[in-house]
Amino acid sequence: MSRESALVSAQWVEDHLETDGVVVVEVDEDTTSYDKGHLRGAIKLDWTTDLQDQVRRDFVNKEQFEALLSERGIANDDTVVLYGGNNNWFAAYAYWYFTLYGHQSVKLMDGGRKKWELDSRELTDAVPTRERTSYTAQEQDHSIRAFRDETVAAIGVKNLIDVRSPDEYAGRLLAPAHLPQEQAQRAGHVPTSLNVPWSKNCNDDGTFKSDEDLTALYAGVGLDDTKETIALCRIGERSSLTWFVLKELLGHQSVKNYDGSWTEYGSLVGVPVALGDEPGSADQVRA
């Protein structure tokens, strides 16, 4: 995987809005954004209802994912182009999700909805209809998904990249600052995790920085790319964006997204937590 195969520009998408076999999909944190206007021909996936199990805290299972994509008219051989608001947080999450279930051709639109809007490109409120398909998903690829026990075991052993803002990492905020701060769990971060805010991957207009800049960013914080890496944030969507950078743009071999992230880790009983701006020590685990 590389920048050329995983990422497309807004201009490329505009040029392919009517191309057979290309399905443009909007996924937003604000699930009403699509309804206020979207790319012509784009369909919507709602991350809260379409991509999350409505009872357990987990993803929809393979059969549910197959039913969803079949109903929305996405075929196995379609090229799925994802875009969304908030600098593609949830579009990157959907990219990782499609990859988890083995979709062959999936791409992210560089800059997402913000870049498209700042370019003053066309938005429409016309909702397309697509013929139903018979989609077949693969079993989840757990080589890109980390769970909590693996994350605890990774302290002081693997690269842990916490992509939240510095104030969330340090424990001064519990959630991104556009959301209310009331949460049940503890504040702080996984000891030994490095804080590389997702925003350092991006330019102000939401497009990704160059491969050279990204390589320098992670080298500069001391990420050892010979080790496995686990990315985490609060609920696993911002860390999907960093997973995309490390795995898809920079081609690191073993990168996982911990989708349970801080909302799970920060609620666990007995696990070590570090406060403040420093990564903290693995000694807390063994004490």
Q: How far is the CB of 3 from other proteins (least distance, A)?
A: 22
276 binds other proteins (CB under 8 A): no
Q: How far is the CB of 241 from other proteins (least distance, A)?
A: 13
What residues between 47 and 66 interact with other proteins by CB under 8 A? none
What residues between 11 and 30 interact with other proteins by CB under 8 A? 30
Among 19, 53, 142, 166, interactor with other proteins by CB under 8 A: 166
As annotated, the active-site residues are 233
Residues ≥6 apart with Cβ < 8 Å to 160: 151, 154, 190, 192, 193, 194, 229, 230, 232
Whether 223 contacts 161, CB under 8 Å = yes
What residues between 136 and 165 interact with other proteins by CB under 8 A? 165
Phi, psi of 103 (to 5 degrees): -65, 135
What's the token pair of residue 174? 């519990």
Among 56, 134, 178, 270, interactor with other proteins by CB under 8 A: 178
Count Cβ atoms below 10 Å from residue 175 Cβ, excluding itself: 18
What residues between 205 and 224 interact with other proteins by CB under 8 A? 205
Count Cβ atoms below 10 Å from residue 63 Cβ, excluding itself: 9
Among 157, 177, 219, 221, interactor with other proteins by CB under 8 A: 177
Q: Which is nearer to other proteins, 203 or 215 (CB)?
A: 203
125 binds other proteins (CB under 8 A): no
CA distance 201 to 217: 8
Q: Which is nearer to other proteins, 98 or 198 (CB)?
A: 198
Q: CA angle at residue 258 from 256 to 263, to 5 degrees?
A: 170
87 binds other proteins (CB under 8 A): yes
